């Protein structure tokens, strides 16, 4: 006799829904989602934020990396219900008022991308790394991005990009008193 998941103590049927409240890129959202909906699919399909890429679906490549309360998280490995009451930032949330984030500018200037598929996850991981360590060494950068795979670049220009972003972010603001 097969065991039905609904018969197992504590199991939740896959068709059960839940209302979540999540702030994404500074905008509050209230959504009813299936318990089994992955965060990456919630972002892409429900909120139409398609910058977060689906790569491996196994949390190995990092293309789906977003920040949850400022910490990098692989959205293909999280259910949307797990971010209830939390703040999520996607690559679309980096640009503010028409101005690119220093990390985005640096990736552009140092050619830190080729095909671009890994770039959103690489950007989000880099932002979190520099928030935690504003002046990382090359080795610290390489360790910091080790959960993000790039099949095109060999990482040299990605590391240069993060180093440039680090320098830009430590510069005093221009035009201030």
Residue that is last in its domain, among 41, 58, 93: 93
**Residue 3 pLDDT exceeds 50:** no
Work out the angle between the directed axes of helices 102-109 and 119-132 (0-180°, nearest 10): 120
Q: Which domain holds residue 119?
A: 102-170
Residue 136 shares a structural domain with residue 84 = no
The alpha carbon of 154 is separated from its chain's Cα centroid by a whole number of angstroms, namely: 21
Considering the domain boundaries, does residue 25 fall inside one?
yes
Residue 21 DSSP SS3: strand
Residue 86 shares a structural domain with residue 114 = no
pLDDT tens for each residue of 122-143: 999 999 999 999 999 999 999 9
Nearest of 54, 35, 55 to residue 44 by alpha carbon? 54
Considering the domain boundaries, does residue 175 fall inside one?
no
Residue 107 shares a structural domain with residue 39 = no
pLDDT at 171: 87
pLDDT at 2: 47
> In this structure, are strands 65-68 and 17-24 parallel, antiparallel, or unpaired?
unpaired
Considering the domain boundaries, does residue 125 fall inside one?
yes
- The tally of domains found in the chain comes to 2
**Residue 148 pLDDT exceeds 70:** yes
Helices (H) and strands (E) in the chain, counts: 5, 5
pLDDT tens for each residue of 75-120: 999 999 999 999 999 999 999 999 999 999 999 999 998 888 889 9
Considering the domain boundaries, does residue 64 fall inside one?
yes
| C-beta separation of 65 from 120 below 8 A | yes
Whole-structure pTM value: 0.86
| C-beta separation of 96 from 127 below 8 A | no
Considering the domain boundaries, does residue 41 fall inside one?
yes
Across the chain, mean pLDDT equals: 90
| C-beta separation of 45 from 33 below 8 A | no
**In sequence order, what are the beta bridge partners of 30?**
21
């Amino acid at each position: 006799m097969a065991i039905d998941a609904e018969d197992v103590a504590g199991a939740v049927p896959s068709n059960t829904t839940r209302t979540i409240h999540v702030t994404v890129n500074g905008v509050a959202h209230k959504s009813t989602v299936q318990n089994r909906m992955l965060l990456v699919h919630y972002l892409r399909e429900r909120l139409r934020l398609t910058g977060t890429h689906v790569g491996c679906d196994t949390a190995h490549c990092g293309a789906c990396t977003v920040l949850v309360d400022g910490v990098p998280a692989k959205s293909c490995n999280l259910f949307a219900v797990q971010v209830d009451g939390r703040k999520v930032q996607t690559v679309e949330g980096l640009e503010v008022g028409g101005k690119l984030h220093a990390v985005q500018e640096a990736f552009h200037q140092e050619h830190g991308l080729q095909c671009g598929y890994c770039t959103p996850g690489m950007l989000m991981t880099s932002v979190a790394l520099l928030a935690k360590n504003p002046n990382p060494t090359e080795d610290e950068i390489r360790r910091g991005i080790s959960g993000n795979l790039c099949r095109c670049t060999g990482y040299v220009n990605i590391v240069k990009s993060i180093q440039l972003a680090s320098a830009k972010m430590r510069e005093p603001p221009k035009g201030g008193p």
